[in-house]
Amino acid sequence: MVDIAMCNRSDCKDKHTCFRYLAFPSEYQDYLVIDTPDTSNCEYYWRCRNAKELREMNKLNKDLEGDY
């Protein structure tokens, strides 16, 4: 579970390397509303290189939730 605004744009060319798209959603997840048809050079893109990095980023975000 992550405490970020995720993205659910299935038409994005970078969705397979973007943490906002790939992260494990929480039960009450917030999502970005991106209404531009152009998905190139997205200002919200958060690079996630591989499955190992995805697991680490999800764990880090989960661990940070306890700090609030």
Q: Is residue 31 part of a domain?
A: yes
Helix (H, G, I), strand (E, B) or coil at 6: strand
For residue 34, give the DSSP letter.
-
Residue 66: which pLDDT band, with cuts at 50, 70 and 90? Answer: low
Six-digit token pair at 29? 């997840």
Q: Is residue 54 part of a domain?
A: yes
Torsion angle of C-alpha atoms 25, 43, 66, 2, degrees rounded to 10: 10
Give residue 51's pLDDT.
Answer: 84
CB 4 within 8 A of CB 20: yes
Give residue 68's pLDDT.
Answer: 40
CB 24 within 8 A of CB 51: no
Considering its fold, how many domains does the chain have in total? 1
- In angstroms, how far is the first alpha carbon of the chain from the final one? 15
pLDDT in tens, 2-58: 678 999 999 998 998 999 999 888 888 999 988 877 777 888 999 988 888 888 887
Give residue 67's pLDDT.
Answer: 45
Domain of 37? Answer: 15-65
pTM: 0.73
Q: Is residue 7 part of a domain?
A: no
